[in-house]
Amino acid sequence: MLILEHKNYKCSILKLFAVCNFLLFSNGSLFAQTPSSKKSIDSLSGKRDIIDIVGPLFISKDAAKGRSELNISDKKFYFSLLPSSTGMPGGGTALITTTNISYYLGDKKTTKLSSINITPYTNFKDRYGISFRSNIWLKNNSWNLLGDFRLLVYPQNSWGLGGSTAFGDKSLINYNYGRFYESALKKIAPNVFAGIGISYDHHSHISVEGDSTFYNSLKPFYDSLEATSYSTGITFNLQYDSRDNTANPEGGFFASAKYRFNPVIFCNTGSWDEWFFDVRKYLPLSHKVHEVLGFWSFWWVTHGSYIPYLDLPSTMWDSYARSGRGFMQGRYKSDKEIYLEAEYRRDLTANGLLGFVLFANLQSYSEFNTTEYKYWHPAVGTGLRVKFNKFSKTNIVLDYAFSKGYNTYYVNISEAF
């Protein structure tokens, strides 16, 4: 893993995070956007998707012609299904079937597109599970309902704590995992939402296969890993969202702040709290083709007398497991994480059927129980995009990414952020 050492310890990491966000996400003159650069979401004339290509093989010519003449304003429900064999986060290969259901619960002019992602997977050996994630927008965007439910049998490699762990010092942790997250956010101003939620994490049958190197990296913070851990918390959420489409934005800005409190009174393994700040900006670069420059940054902080090891911030353990492309899931872990990513997206064909992306990301983890971010870990990658459904703007995502000593590929539906 390529490691960049940050030596200016006098510089506050909070100031660095604030400066990066200001430069990347400012609406200032760095990337000016004229009114003419905004593309109409109803402009599908001449656009093609994979269903247009393969559809005539399975449906009548009249039905295919009727679909090609539809406008996005004529549809309210969109369905995408992608079975694939892909590299598993953490190593190995698995059969994954990703199903995306998108729909409108109100007038398209005043209501954002809701989406549900259902992902069952198995490697036909020791890893299997199902995840169900939802982003629901009620009529006129009056409420935003966010859900994340998972049931997993999930053995995964772990490298201990901190930002400088050696790649060879990994140990396999076996565990079962259940997650239930649900939040309800009420619109309190244009594009501004606030609300509360509940978050529940249950890890069971935890066991470690490895030598003493792994346990030595945990001390003096963890004497051992308990066989079971519970974390039940209340969340308080504040969100701003001006994106036109959450699956594949043409422009807009997203920012959210979430605070989670896990008191002992809820029968938790430990009492701890968490902050998660998430900021995203999308800059449209053309009004003729899909060409967007996207930026993503988040800061993930936990604090408490005892935080269950598997609940700590870790590589690729954001809500949708889309950060850190180019690293193994769980590669780094600590009580604080900073993440930065930029991606350039562009159509390859005028009809929008094919496109490509170029991306780079950078992550850093504090030394445990400190505010020192000494090591910065970069990765880069590229990808092909195939338009699965032109009405919902859903893409089939084929990405390849690498960092020093590791490379992998990804097959998904919808963009990483």
Confidence class for position 4, pLDDT limits 50, 70, 90? very low
Query: Which range has the worst mean pLDDT, 97-101, 176-180, 387-391?
Result: 97-101
Q: Tell me what the mean pLDDT of segment 23-44 comes to.
A: 43
Sign for the CA dihedral angle at 233, 320, 286, 68 comes to: negative
pLDDT, the chain, mean: 84
> Which tokens is 340 given?
């930065």
The burial class, CB within 10 Å (0-12 / 13-18 / 19+), for 57 is exposed
What's the confidence (pLDDT) of residue 23? 42
Q: Tell me what the mean pLDDT of segment 326-341 comes to.
A: 95
Query: Which range has the worst mean pLDDT, 106-115, 255-264, 342-351?
Result: 106-115
Does any domain span residue 414?
Answer: no
Counted residue by residue, the chain has a size of 417
pLDDT digits (tens, 9 = 90+) for 287-322: 888 999 999 999 999 999 899 999 999 999 998 889
Q: Are 56 and 91 in contact (CB under 8 A)?
A: no
What's the confidence (pLDDT) of residue 364? 97
pLDDT digits (tens, 9 = 90+) for 120-177: 888 877 788 999 999 999 999 999 999 999 999 988 889 989 998 888 888 899 999 9
Half-sphere exposure of 115 (CA within 13 A, CB side): 17
> Which tokens is 338 given?
């900073």
Beta bridge partners, 344, equal 293, 358
Q: Are 91 and 328 in contact (CB under 8 A)?
A: yes
What's the confidence (pLDDT) of residue 74? 56
> What is the extent of the structural domain holding 97?
19-45+71-334
pLDDT digits (tens, 9 = 90+) for 173-216: 999 999 999 999 999 999 999 999 999 999 999 998 876 677 77
Domain harbouring 240, CATH code: 2.40.160
Does any domain span residue 215?
Answer: yes
Does any domain span residue 288?
Answer: yes
What's the confidence (pLDDT) of residue 39? 44
Residue 355 vs residues 50, 215, 245, 325, 345: alpha-carbon distances, Å? 13, 46, 17, 19, 7
What's the confidence (pLDDT) of residue 5? 40
Count the neighbouring beta carbons within 10 Å of the beta carbon of residue 253. 19
Sign for the CA dihedral angle at 144, 150, 154, 158 comes to: positive
Does any domain span residue 64?
Answer: no
Nearest to residue 278, comparing CAs of 338, 195, 194, 365? 338
Q: Tell me what the mean pLDDT of segment 11-26 comes to.
A: 46
Q: Tell me what the mean pLDDT of segment 354-381 comes to.
A: 95
Report the C-alpha gap between 386 and 86 in whole angstroms: 17
> What's the alpha-carbon Rg for the chain, to the nearest Å?
22
Q: For the chain, give the percent of residues with pLDDT over 70.
A: 81
pLDDT at 118 over 70: yes
pLDDT at 19 over 70: no
Q: Are 136 and 106 in contact (CB under 8 A)?
A: no
What's the confidence (pLDDT) of residue 34? 37
Q: For the chain, give the percent of residues with pLDDT over 90.
A: 53
Does any domain span residue 210?
Answer: yes
Report the C-alpha gap between 53 and 349 in whole angstroms: 14
Does any domain span residue 409?
Answer: no
What's the confidence (pLDDT) of residue 3? 42
Does any domain span residue 283?
Answer: yes
Characterise 391 by phi-psi region: left (phi > 0), alpha (psi -120 to 50), beta (else). alpha
What's the confidence (pLDDT) of residue 250? 92
The total number of structural domains in the chain stands at 1
Does any domain span residue 136?
Answer: yes
pLDDT digits (tens, 9 = 90+) for 227-244: 999 999 999 999 999 998
